[in-house]
Structure 1
Amino acid sequence: MNGQPAADVVELIRDVPIYRTSIERGHFPILEKPEIARGFPDNWMTPALAAALEGGEAEFVLSTGTNHARMQIIRPPYFLLDSYYRLWSEHPDIHDTWDEGCRRVSLTTVLATEHVARVNAKKRGADPSPVPTPDERRLDARTVYLNLRLDPALWEREDVERMLGEIRAAAAAHPRGRYHLDCSGYHLAHLVHKVGEWGLWDAFPAPASIIHAYEYTPVNVRRYLGRHFACPVVDLFGSTELGYLYYSDRRGRYRPYLDKMSVELIPVAPGSEIFGLIVTSVRNPHMPLIRYRSGDCARTLDGTPDPARISRFCGREKELLDTPRGPVAQADLDDRIADASHRVFLHRLHVDGGDRARLLVTTFDGAPLDAAEAAVLAESTGDLTGRHCRVERVPHIPIGASGKYAWLVKDL
C-alpha cells in the first residue's frame, strides 16, 4: 500500500495551499508537524475556511503538547467531544449508558479542567475562578470535570471527598443511579488507592461504564482497575487534531473507528515490528490531514503493517529508546514490569549515555518489592534495554507539567 490519497480525497483538498505542490507532482509525502506549523494559518486558508472562521463554524485551538511541542490547529467547535460522544453512543459494550442519558464525570489532568473553566469564563465575559465550582467546570449538560490538582498522588482527603460528592451528584441525576466515568487510567488508580486507604468505598458509587482515553494505560493499572470495577472498562485512542481512531472492547481488543480516515503503518526502523501511524483524515473539514505522522506507535497481532490488526498502541515515536536490539517502546518495558510483578504502579526509566539504567518504581501498596521480584525486574529490564539496570522503589514519582507521566528520562 503506497498510502497515496484517493481521487475523491484529492478533490476535497484541491484548494488547500499546503497541498498544492503535492497535487501538482502527483505525490504526497508524509506530513510532519513542523510542516503544519510553517506559515500557519495561511498554508491552510481557503475561502471556505475563512468564511467558517468568520461565522464561528471553525476555531483555532492548541493540541495538548504532552509529548511534543504544542501545535495550533483549526477545527469545528467540540470536534473531539463530538467524536467521543458518537463513539460512546455506538460502542457495543457501553452504548447503553449513553442511551440512558447517564451523566459523565471526567477525572483527568488538571489542564483539561482548567481549559473547560477558562472557556466557560470567557462565555461569561469574566476571568476564570482560582478554584472553579462544579458549574464552572461543566463542559455541557452531560459532563463535569473533577480534578483541581496537578499531581493526583498529592490529593488530600478533602480533595477526594469533594470529588466523590460530585460523582454522587452525577449518579443521583439518573433514576437508577447510573453514571459514566471518563478518566486517565492513572488518575482513577490514584483515586481508588486513596478511597481504599481512607475507607471511603461507601461514598463512591460504582460506575456503569468506564472509558480511559488520555494516555497509555499500563498493564498493571488496567489490572488494578479491573479488580475494583465490575463494569466494562474500555480504551479510546485518538488525538486533539484527529478525533478518535480506535476503541477497545471490554476485553482489550482494538477495533478501527476510521470514519473519513485511513491509516498506514510504517516501521520506526528497518526490521522493527513497532510501527508509526501515518493518518489520512478528512473528518475535520477545516484542516484535512493527508499522510500525517501522528507520532504514535503501535504493534500488530502478527507483526505485519496491517492497520486492521493493531493489537495495542505502545507509546510515542519521540520516546523510543535506542538499544542494541533496536527501538524499545513504552509498552515493551511495561510488559516486562507487568510480567515481573503485579504490584508495580508507576515507573520511570532513567538511562545515561553509557550502559547504565535506573528503574524507579512505586507500588500500589506502598511496600518495597521483595528481593526476588526486584531481581527479576532488574534482569528483564537490562535484557530489554541492553544496559545494567538497578531497580529502586521510591515513595513518589512526580507527574509532568502536562499532567501526564514520563516513562523515560535520558540523563545525558
Structure 2
Amino acid sequence: MSNDQYTVGWICALMTEYVAAQVFLEKRHSRPETLSPNDNNHYTLGEIGGHHIVIAVLPDGGYGTSSAAGVARDMVHSFPNGRFGLMVGIGGGVPTKQDIRLGDIVVSSPGNGGGGLLAGLQAQYELEGHRLVEDIQSVIEHNTKLKHKYARLYSESDRLYQSHFTHVGVSWGSCAELCDESKLILRAKRTEEQDDHAIHYGLIASGNRVIKDAMFRDKLAVEQDVLCFEMEAAGLANHFPCLVIRGICDYADSHKCKEWQGYAAMMAAAYAEDVLRQIVPQRVNAEQKAREVLNDIQNQLEDVSRNVNDLRVITSESARDVNAMAQNIDLKELPVAEGAEFNTYMNQHEEECLPGTRKELLLDIEKWAVSPEGKCIFWLNGLAGTGKSTISRTVAKLFKERR
C-alpha cells in the first residue's frame, strides 16, 4: 500500500506503548517500501475502523519533547497525507482535585471537556459505560505472552501516599515493604455504577523532566488545573494536530514505579481504538493535511513577524519625529527662572585673578607671549563660569603695565 494512503499517525514514546498499540490493530500491513531520506523511524502499519494508521516509536533511549518532535517531523515527510496524530501512552496522574487512580485515562482537553471529536464517545461512556477492560482481556487471551506485563493488577497495589511523605529507602524498593502504611490516603472503592477506570478530560502538562515531587504536582493542580504529566506531547504541536491520551501508571511522586506501566499503556491504546472507531474515515480524508496546516501556521507566524517589524519601524520613525520636535522648540518661548540666567554671574565676578591664584596658568601664558617659537594663538578653553574672562583681563593688565 502506498504511503499516501495513511492518514492517521500514532506515536509512542516507549516500547511498552508500542506493543500495546500494535495489539489493537484490526489488520496489519507490510512495512513501508520507501521512506523520506534520513528517516530512521521504525513503523508499524495497519488499520482500525477503516483508518489507515502508521505507528511509530521514539528511538531506544530517546524521550522528551525534542525526540518526539523528530519522530513526528520524519513521519510527516514519509507519510505526507497524514491528517492528525495520536500521542498514546502512559503518564503521571494528579489526584489532587479529581479522583484519578492508576489505570484511569486522561485525554488532552484544555476546556476540561471532550470537545467535538470526542463528544459521541464521551456520551456513550456516560450512558453505557466503557468496555476497555474487557477489550484488554480479549487481546491478552489471544496472546498469553502479554499477560505477565500487560494484564490488570490488583487494586491493592494502587497506593496513594500523603503529599508530604516521600519514599523511604532506595528508589526501586517496594513501597509495600518500605513505606509507612499510615501515610496512605484511604479511598473508597468505586461502586458498581461506576466504571473501574474513569476517563478524565483536561490539561496534560508536557515537559522534558520526569515529575517525582508530590508537592510540586499539587501546586500545579491548584494553579493550572493539571490532571496529568508526560514528556513528549509538547514536541508534536509544531508538526501536526494531535490528541494526547495517557493511561495513568503513577502519581508523579517519589513513589513512582513501573508496575502499572504495561496495563496503563493497554488502557490508553484501547481508548485510542475506541476513538478511531467513532470517526468516519471519509471525515478524516476531508480534513486538511497536517503539512498544509503547519504551512498555514508558519505563514501566519511570518505575517506576525512582519507586522512586528513594521511596528518597530513606525515606532522608530515616531521617536525621530519627537526628537525633531524637541530640537525645533523656540527657546525664547520657554519660561525664565529669575536669578538663574546664564550671565547672572557676570555682575558678581572679580575684575582680575586674586593674588596667588592661577599662577601656573598665567606663567604659561607669559612664556607663550615672549617665546619666539610660540604659536600665534593661545587657545583658552573651559566651561562657562570657570574664569576664562577673568584670566584674560588679568593677562591684558599685566602686559599693559609692562609696556
Q: TM-score, normalised to structure 2's length?
A: 0.27
Going by fraction, where is helix more abundant, 1 or 2? 2
Select the structure with the greater relative contact order (CA < 8 A; seq sep ≥ 6): 2
Max radius of gyration: which structure?
A: 2
